[in-house]
Chain A
Amino acid sequence: MSSWLQASNWLVMLPEMIIAFFALIILLVAAFTKDSEAPYPESLAITGLALAFISSYYIPEGVGYYGQVAVDSVSRTAFSIAILGGMLVLGVVPSQFGTDTMRSETSALVLFSLCGVGFMVTAQHLIMLFLGIELLSLPLYIMAGMRTRDPRSREAALKYFIVGAFASALMLFGMAIYLGANGDLLMNHFALSFQKNAVPPTLIFFAGWILISTAMLFKLGAVPFHMWVLDVYQGSPSSITAFMTFAPKIAAFFALAKMWPLGSESGLSTPISMMYLLSFLTMTAGNMMALMQRNIKRMLAYSSIAHGGYMLMAFLISGTEGIHALLFYLAVYALMNIGAFTVITLVAPSRDPELSIISLSGLAKTHTYLAVALAICLFSLTGLPPFGGFMAKFFLIKAVLASGNVYIALAAIFNSLLSAYYYLRVVLVMTTREPLAADSDELISPSAGFTSIGLSSRIALAVAIIGVVISGISPDFFARIISL
């Protein structure tokens, strides 16, 4: 028994275990209490996440479970970001679902999904990676369809599920080929094959690699595989969409980082040119299509595609610098999106359910603080100083320039300029237009928005906004908080 404990080194999985344990507790409590009596399941979930976050500081780095998983500082930081983001989202969930009965299930599903993130970023075996993807995605499919009476929500769930199943199928096919090429499913074959002066990988290895990477790119919503993003982001409940924007991205990026040669370290030109093309296409197409969106959620969906494109640039940088810039970017990105979607969640009940950008007109007058929060998030998404989005882009583009990829850096800068149009248009609508007739009766006081929303989402929004601001003003401090 003790030998098993030693050999498994089970402590490395402690945060995931805590999260799974709390998810089970929540489900059990929900099973044995009446729907209306469930005492704030989110608080239980947030407690669990906080414990997991703290424990992740103390667990040893290293390989665990017979080489199935390995924890290092990067995977730990990535997971911490996801955990923090999850906590904020759980703060918003109550005001999304209100007194609906689905809250404990939602909390448990968010926790399960975060568990999946943890397994994906630490996976050292493709089976583990696959299970991580499934554990991450299944709750997302379900939560996308949580509003069962809304056809858009049902459509989102179905589309996400079918595309996700397709990606999983690609991944399994790739795994079969990978097994044939290497004789086992350990992920270190990627690193070994992409070393400098390594034996050039065989064609069959490349086929497996491409298929598995494609599955990850599906999860990212990189451009040839992005079609699902729109309808899924639009149809899902807004607070869940906030979770969708960052959790799968974090997991997929760091899974991809383990299987993709960073920069020119492999000496192979194919992966670099592929990533060049992917990154360029993703950011450009995302921005171009965001330009003509009239719906705020669809606009943010395209913006998340575009940001995925920027982040893909990190793979063009050799060494750890790109990965660190990516971590910083993802953390800020998660905060910005949580902020934006929280505001959308909170204003949605009083606006038209389709959430067109026009319906936000006059928000600055009706809900001043919410409008300010949204504006900060949008400025940050554009990449305007002094907000976090600027620093994130700055670090990333600096690293890309240092690695010698000038053209893609220029493309990223131009794309950011382009994106200013559609982000700032929303700010313009909020400030200059008169409120629509329907909600003018709500115009009581400038802080009306604040009193009518729940405490937890108020705190979550405040934390997200403070995070966005701090990361812009003092990036070092911010980096220390997320244990970078």
Chain B
Amino acid sequence: MNILLFYPLSALIIILSLGVILATNPVHSALLLVGAMVAIAGVFLCLNCEFLAMLQIFIYAGAIMVLFLFIVTTIDTRKDEKFVSSAKFSQASGILLSGSMFFLFFFLALQFVQHLPDTGRWLGDAKGLGELFLKSYSLPFEVVTLVLLTAMAGVIVMSHDPLYRRRSKEASKQILSGGNKA
């Protein structure tokens, strides 16, 4: 673990994550989250997990966040601004709670150093990771696929509208079915 790089990187992650929740424009939030993802990839590099770092950028920053942005831009952000809570009480209690949680865990974390697992040993390259996935973590690896499948089925169920009639892609059938009546 390269401590010299770790502290600036974690500071960066915290600042970017704060930006995510404080930015009023959702696109800016999403972009700051991309930045945080890339910074987390940096932390992985500090832990000698190059493979994981690249996957972090490739999958999270490169694919998932793009889809996030895709959704965010199609929402009218100006309309949703009024949902930003202005309740002083909830804001204050939220800050108080998260602040006290932060200090609690900060001081607890000072005890932390006793058991740092050596991640670089087995997560460094694709081979070690693959062995983990196919041997000792084979079951969780399979269960993840079930979880993802469930989520996928769920998205289809939630977005499926039984009353919506799909328009045919063939131009001739479009005319026959009477245009774009939904």
Contact = CB atoms under 8 A, between A and B. Distances in A.
A and B touch in the complex (CB under 8 A): yes
B157 A119 contact: no
Interface stretch (B37-45, B82-90, B133-141): B133-141
A177 B105 CA distance: 9
B143 interface: yes
A181 interface: yes
B2 interface: no
Contact of B143 (A7, A128, A203): A128
A172 interface: no
Contact of A105 (B112, B115, B139, B157): B157
B147 A13 contact: no
A294 to B, nearest CB: 28
A146 B147 CA distance: 18
Nearest to B152: A27
A202 B111 contact: yes
A395 interface: no
A204 B112 contact: yes
Given A109-B153, A203-B111, A125 B117 contact: no
Nearest to B136: A66
B153 A13 contact: no
For B104, B115, B135, B146, the residue with the greatest tally of chain A CB atoms inside 10 Å of its CB is B146
Interface string B118-150: 000000000000000001111110011011011
Contacts of A203: 108, 111
The B contact surface, by secondary structure, is: helix
Contacts of B139: 8, 13, 64-65, 68-69, 128
A204 B111 contact: yes
A154 B143 CA distance: 27
Contact of B154 (A119, A141, A182, A204): A141
Contact of B138 (A8, A146, A148, A183): A8
Interface in A117-132: 119, 125, 127-128, 131-132
A335 interface: no
Most buried by A among B111, B138, B139, B156: B139
B170 interface: no
Interface residues of B, number: 30
Given A109-B150, A135-B143, A66 B135 contact: yes
B148 to A, nearest CB: 9
B158 interface: yes
Interface size class of A (residues with CB under 8 A): 35 or more
B136 to A, nearest CB: 4
B153 A27 contact: yes
Nearest to B115: A183
Contacts of A127: 137, 140
A204 B138 contact: no
B76 interface: no
Given A148-B158, A177-B105, A204-B112, A183 B150 contact: no
A132 B111 CA distance: 30
A100 interface: yes
Nearest to A130: B140
A199 B112 CA distance: 17
A112 B146 contact: yes
B160 to A, nearest CB: 8
Contact of B157 (A13, A66, A142, A177): A142
Contact of B158 (A66, A157, A204): A157
A115 B153 contact: no
Given A148-B158, A179-B117, A135 B147 contact: yes
Interface in B49-79: none
A44 interface: no
B113 to A, nearest CB: 9
A64 B147 CA distance: 20
Contacts of B162: 35, 100-101
A386 to B, nearest CB: 41
A72 interface: no
B140 A68 contact: yes
Contacts of A157: 158
B43 to A, nearest CB: 13
Contacts of A4: 135
A207 B105 contact: yes
A427 interface: no
Nearest to A19: B146
Interface of A: 4, 7-8, 13, 20, 24, 27, 35, 64-69, 100-102, 105, 108-109, 112, 115, 119, 125, 127-128, 131-132, 134-135, 138-139, 141-142, 145-146, 148, 157, 177, 179-184, 202-204, 207
20 contacts: A8-B138, A8-B139, A24-B149, A27-B149, A65-B138, A68-B140, A105-B153, A109-B150, A112-B150, A131-B140, A135-B150, A139-B150, A177-B105, A179-B115, A180-B116, A202-B111, A204-B109, A204-B111, A207-B104, A207-B108
Given A177-B108, A182-B115, 8 more contacts: A65-B139, A109-B150, A125-B140, A142-B158, A145-B158, A181-B112, A183-B117, A207-B104
In the A-B complex, the 6 residue pairs with the closest CB atoms: A142-B154, A183-B115, A66-B136, A65-B139, A131-B143, A180-B112
